[in-house]
Structure 1
Amino acid sequence: MDAPNLTEKATVLVVDDTPDNLSLMSGLLKDRYKIKVANNGEKALRIARGEPAPDLILLDIMMPGLSGYDVCLALKGDPATRDIPIIFLTAMTATEDETKGLAMGAADFITKPVNPPVVLARVATQLQVKAAADFLRDQNAYLEAEVARRTCELAAIQDVAILAMASLAETRDNDTGNHIRRTQFYVRALAERLRDHPRFRLFLAGNTIDLLFKSAPLHDIGKVGIPDRILLKPGRFSADEFETMKAHTTLGRDAILHAERKLGMDVDFLRLAKEIAYCHQEKWNGSGYPEGIAGDAIPISARLMAVADVYDALISRRVYKEGMSHEAAAEIIRDGRGSHFDPDIVDAFVELQDEFRAIAARFND
């Protein structure tokens, strides 16, 4: 970023109700600066708030109508003008007058009659300070904008990478189509409904819902390790085939764990992605896999995904079945309350049925 340009003429606004004083100050400053004048406080405020704003204001205190103190307070109270330095230029010489002005935010205090070299020196000093402050402020704004841009860019790259990885698994099974998108939105809808629930409030605090949304597509990433003869089989699995199919949970968890180790750091959404990939086939009553854990021992992230995943599997066509109606799928979810699924999550699903139906329609295969 370029350094502040101190060679370009700065604009100085001189405010005084006495014409002779305006002429005197204009004559003193005009060879070095662009000069604007105002003979009362109201006009001074209009000029200061206009475009371009002055770089410095020389402000008389004793004026009819708005006093210099009034003008100073108005300017310092306005975000658009609060950074313009103000030098009080006045015949008031009492210490309390100077103290009052500086307390209001004035940068300096010059008494009349003025000493021209002193005025020029103090004006130059305040303009240099302002130019440096403007440069730092612009640089900070630029850096903040650049950080925001790069953060957004990294988040977009991260999202694309996640969806690309998830799609690797989905392309193995052409019937699943938009399954990963639908389940993302199902999980988010459930989480938002449960955000204030006593059992889930702590877990869903902060940015967890956004992280769940980001993590959800990786729930079946382990399917890339399942042979086609099993993954695409149109009929029922044999016992051995089912054992192989169940391994997709461990394969998914281990693949994400490997990626995390390569990064060399813990990443919040990958923690959730590991939970979801490994535990989304667990059941509330302990009859699921791979660990056979039950109840609250199952991570909340995986419990949310279980409802989302089963609902979508029921309404979607697969190589071995046709998709069923929303009503039939919803009844199966309700019947699984307290056995397959966390009861409170099923209750949230029941309340959100119209939203689930809308999500399914929006991302229809």
Structure 2
Amino acid sequence: MKDTVLIADSNKLTRDTLKAILENEYNVIETENCKQVMHVIKEEYKNIRALMFDLPECICGNMDIFDELKKLGIFDSVPVFAICGLDERPLLNKYFEAGINDFLLKPFDGDIVLKRLRNFMSLYNNKRESEVLIREQTEDLKEKNRLLSETNDKIIELLGNVVEARNLESGKHIRRVKNFTRILANDIKEHYPKYGLTDKLVNDIVSASAMHDIGKILIPDSILLKPARLTEVEYEEMKTHTVKGSELLEGAREIWGEEYANICKDIALYHHERYDGNGYPYGLAGDEIPISAQIVAVADVYDALVTKRVYKEPVSPKVAYDMITNGQCGKFSDIMIECFKRQSDNLEKLLG
């Protein structure tokens, strides 16, 4: 099937001459003036592979046509040639500024016309093929990244579940904390733009929350599984799970990249810090505590309160609500408390 070339020129002799040069290799469509161009292009848009214009008429008489062509993306998709005579050569700069690729000088040399047309059409065909290939490769990469992200999330959740298995907990704790984290993080994103949370950051925080207690894998069973109150020495040892978890996750930096690794480390290291500086391991206060860790801290405390642990029975969601909002579980920021209050019903629904 022949490629289509559109010729727009008010001079019939010019059109006939060009048609005679082109018609053995190309399907030729003619218009008498630029006013008809838009109608023809809209009808034949997918088929046209080159345009030849009497540009003095189009530029001087109707620049709007070129504005419309630019809006349609014609200049990016097919080569455009100016048809001009010797006396019009001084206007060539203006033609190029309008967006043309080349010019065809009258009287026409048939071989030159065909060579210029073939060269530009080959360039544009290669460009189109490259764009298609790039789009296909981009979609393929997106799909591979999606699958990689899903695999990464499963591995991360598996790591969290390993810790929970040692803690005689089921993997449900990890899933609940992730779900609580998503609700709270989305609320922060919506109501407090100063923290700069985006959909991607929310997803990263949710994923990383699965490893908030990864450091407990290095805590002795005699402490981790003790069904009674820990001694002061044992409690100090338990508190080291934050630093140990952060150190473990440092080894994954090259795999996960800086941003995600930092989120994971921040959550593992700081989710027991409290807004008034009375948390651990470093006694950070206020927004020295990363927002990711503040969010996971509330999610983790809420789940710890409403579920059974080896050392305690669960409390009701209402009691957990009062304990968190009254500061019995440590001081959270006013922003986190307001966030928790707004979402308390949604959090409770996740308990089943």
| TM bucket, shorter chain | 0.7 to 0.9
Structure 1 residues 353, 101: closer, same or farther in 2, change over 3 A? Answer: same
1:75 maps to a residue whose letter is L
* 1:305 equivalent among 276, 296, 303: 296
Cα deviations by residue, 1:258-304 (Å, 9 ceiling, x for unpaired): 444xx389622222322322332334455544445555554443333
Residues 213 and 241, structure 2, Cα contact 8 Å, conserved in 1: yes
- In the comparison of the two structures, how many residue pairs are matched? 350
Distance 1:36 1:27 in 2: 12
Unmatched 5+ stretches in structure 1? 1-7
Partner of 1:4: none
Contact conserved, 1:69 with 1:101, CA < 8 A, in 2?
A: no
Which residues of 2 match residues 95-174 of structure 1 at below 5 A? Answer: 95=89, 97-173=91-167
The answer as to 2:203 corresponding to 1:214 is no
Matched residue, 2:6: 13
User: What TM-score, normalized by structure 2, do the two folds share?
Assistant: 0.80
Give the TM-score normalised by the residue count of structure 1. Answer: 0.78
Deviation at 1:336? 0.9
* Helix, strand or coil at the partner of 1:352: helix
Q: Is the 8 A contact 2:263 2:292 kept in 1?
A: yes
CA distance in 2, matches of 1:112, 1:221: 78
SS of the residue aligned with 2:309? Answer: coil
The structure 1 residue matched to 2:71, chosen from 74, 77, 81, is: 77
Q: 2:323·2:329 contact (CA, 8 Å) conserved in 1?
A: no
Identity across the alignment (%): 28
Counterpart CA distance in 2 for 1:319 and 1:204 is 35
Tell me how large the CA RMSD over aligned residues is: 3.7
Please list the CA deviations of residues 199-246 of structure 1 after superposition, one character each: whole Å capped at 9, or x if unmatched: x93575896444322321100112333455554454444555545543
Unaligned runs of 5+ in 2: none
For the residue of structure 2 that corresponds to 1:324, the secondary structure is coil
Cα distance, 1:331 vs structure 2: 0.3
Specify the SS of the correspondent of 2:194. coil
Which residue number in structure 2 is paired with residue 187 of structure 1?
181
Which deviates more from structure 2 when the two are superposed, residues 200-209 or residues 240-249?
200-209
1:295-338 CA-partner distances (Å, limit 9, x unpaired):
55544433332211111111223345443322211100011179
Indicate which of 27, 37, 40 corresponds to 1:34.
Answer: 27
Q: Following TM superposition, by how much is the alpha carbon of 1:104 offset from its aligned partner in structure 2, in angstroms?
A: 0.9
Q: Which is worse superposed, 287-296 or 74-83?
A: 287-296
Match of 1:248 among 241, 244, 251: 241
Cα offset, 1:37, TM superposition: 3.3
Q: What letter matches 1:302 in structure 2?
A: A
CA displacement 1:33-55 (0-9 Å, x = unmatched): 23333445465334434353321
Would the aligned equivalents of 2:161 and 2:171 in 1 still touch at CA under 8 Å? no
Deviations 1:80-121 (A, max 9, x none): 664211112245833454333222111222244433233223
| 1:348 equivalent in alignment to 2:331 | no
Q: Is the 8 A contact 2:195 2:291 kept in 1?
A: no
Q: 1:84 to 1:221 in 2, by over 3 A?
A: same
More helix by share: 2
Between 1:293-302 and 1:22-31, the stretch displaced more is: 293-302
